Structure 1
Amino acid sequence: MTKRKKKKVSVIKDHPVWVKCHFFPYKMLQKRYQTLLIQHLKRAVENNLKSSAPDRDLLAFSIPSFKKSFFDDLKQEYKNGFFVHVTEERQDLQMTAGYIGRYARSPPLSELQIKNYTGEWISFEFKDYRNNGSKDLYTLKSIEFIRKLIRHIPPHYFNVIRHYGILASRVKTKFKKITDRLLSTPPIVEKAKNWRERQTKFQKEDPLLCKI
């Protein structure tokens, strides 16, 4: 005789309230996130292929076997689902706000540079350094704009920190105050003399002045 599985019943309240929970089923969340994201990608690809001007990079997905193998390989490579970073609830949010602020203030493209967006097309302003830094207006299809923008996202585990140790951004100001107190003021370096000044000092007279 086999045991029947118990059904899980969900109760909807008229006045729902937040319930504190210290354990979160992150493994379930990883698989669920993977499923929903892949479904969204499939719909986005299908809608693009049905449009009047499909993206050239997505034309290969019009072949059913290619489309199936691509997403099957994606699921096979990430058998446990897509990674979802779940941590304990932070109590001190000041550090988190500062961290987000440092990285959000310098995106690849500022919102102020986006001048027009119709859903299918987007126009943005940029500095053309090949033309003396003049400001140019450029218009692209939205999916092409996203494709160009995500090129600026570094690969996984790619180190983008330019300074570390006492030169790290968050501590260099404090260390500079200490080093300024401990180290003496560096000597003032004289500006290098040109040929005329060097000859005048050596010969005791200006070599470019006529002696007659």
Structure 2
Amino acid sequence: MSEPATLQQALSRFLTPACLDRQRQRVCHHLLACRTEAMGGTVLQCTGCDHTQPHYFGCRDRHCPQCQGRAMHQWAERQQANILPVRYYHVVFTLPHRLNGWVQLHPEVIYRRLFQSAWQTLRAFGRNPKRLGGEMGMSAVLHTWGQTLSQHVHLHCLVPGGALGDDGGWRGARSPYLFPVRALSRHFRGHLVSALRQAAKAGELHRVTRPGDVDDQLNALMATEWVVYSKDCLEHTETVVRYLARYTRRIAISNARILAVDDHQVTLRVKDYRDRERPKPLVLAGEEFVRRFLLHILPKGLMRVRHYGFLANRCRRRRLAQIRHALAVAEATADADTAASDSAPTYTCPHCQQPTLRVIGTLSPRRSLPGRRDNHRTQRYRT
């Protein structure tokens, strides 16, 4: 049986680094070097059958499908620890596809305005005394792709269903949709279009150079209906947290979805949402696969996960304690940080299938071009 195809194989066959900007070159360099001799690593030996093998380090790049699994689970555990005993809502703010071109020209500007507009929309509805009349909280994760790797920019938000009033009391939401979705959609549309007009006047959209394009695009956006999805997740809040966690450290594609790679094309497994989410193969030309993958590499330093309101980092602990007190819920005494083990890691031996592999040495990183597998040489390791 042949080994499963990987993102590394696809990139190494079809990537042309010379035509990439510095950030994409940097990310692709990391992904191609991940878990190879270029990263260095350790030497493992089985204490039962004496089998010896190298274990190469990961690149830890936030775009890598092989890395950050532990960080992803830790993020989910932290969010679970902060879950309140209230109704939660899964809210999705979608950016219209008309703005996809601007996203590639000015990703920092568009993504920042998207986060701000989503939060200001929820905050305005929550502050309204006719609705909740208090301060809300929101955790938002940026998601930029669809099943076919096409550009589909949207925010997944986990929102506690209620608001903290100025008097310290909790005012819970009862609607299965939190707020009327049409009203949410129109407020979100108006706020984001206004924010983009301000950005254009401030010269932040300077790469949009076609005369009249800014006004034409924004006027067209105001003339169309936008979509905000909102639904309570009372019975599966933990599932939504795990769902969001998958997008905090990885992008676009996992190795498990890459079925095959040859000299001309890449075959993916996708869900056909028009056919009851049945998995189907999708064949893309190699260059097209790489082009679509590169659409989702984020600018350096851009925060993909953001928390707002009483879930903001600067006040989360104090505000959650205040809300739990208002709900008459005692604080949990368990500290998740003490759960970590100080014992040395163990690995399963592929030869005898026992968890008896131990580290006996280290491998220095090999300085070579990423993705090249020629001129292999035996590596020396230090014990």
TM-score category of the 2 structures, normalised to the smaller one: 0.3 to 0.5
Larger-Rg structure: 1
Q: TM-score, normalised by structure 1?
A: 0.36
Greater strand proportion:
2
Q: TM-score, normalised by structure 2?
A: 0.21
